[in-house]
Amino acid sequence: QKEVEQNSGPLSVPEGAIASLNCTYSDRGSQSFFWYRQYSGKSPELIMFIYSNGDKEDGRFTAQLNKASQYVSLLIRDSQPSDSATYLCAVNGAGGTSYGKLTFGQGTILTVHP
């Protein structure tokens, strides 16, 4: 089992729809969770991070975390063509020398079509 797994893509949604991106992780000691967006040929940029169970909203983006199920998701409301990118789920290490080390999923390609 991979340490961080994302739902296989690519994911295609129409403009204005909700895009749902999912991620599971294997290390129960993981403390913080990140969603990065990566445009083709560019470096990852942080969209959101979440530490606690529940939902965290920031504009059109909502991150959801369920530590019991080892599951984190990202919802994008009112999707725009400019949201088309690869979305990377990343999990922070459990502590000690692992702290700060991000383990990434393989990414989900999202395409928002007009």
Q: SS3 for 77?
A: coil
Residues that bind another protein (CB under 8 A): 4, 32, 34, 42-46, 49, 88, 90, 92, 97-98, 100-107
Q: What is the DSSP letter of 73?
A: E
By the 10 Å C-beta count (0-12 exposed, 13-18 middle, 19+ buried), 85 is classed as: buried
Instruction: Determine the Cα–Cα distance for residues 77 and 14; give it in Å rounded to an integer.
Output: 11
Residue whose CB is less far from another protein, 76 or 105: 105
Instruction: Compute the least distance from the CB of residue 81 to another protein, in Å.
Output: 22
Instruction: Compute the least distance from the CB of residue 15 to another protein, in Å.
Output: 26
Residue whose CB is less far from another protein, 7 or 17: 7
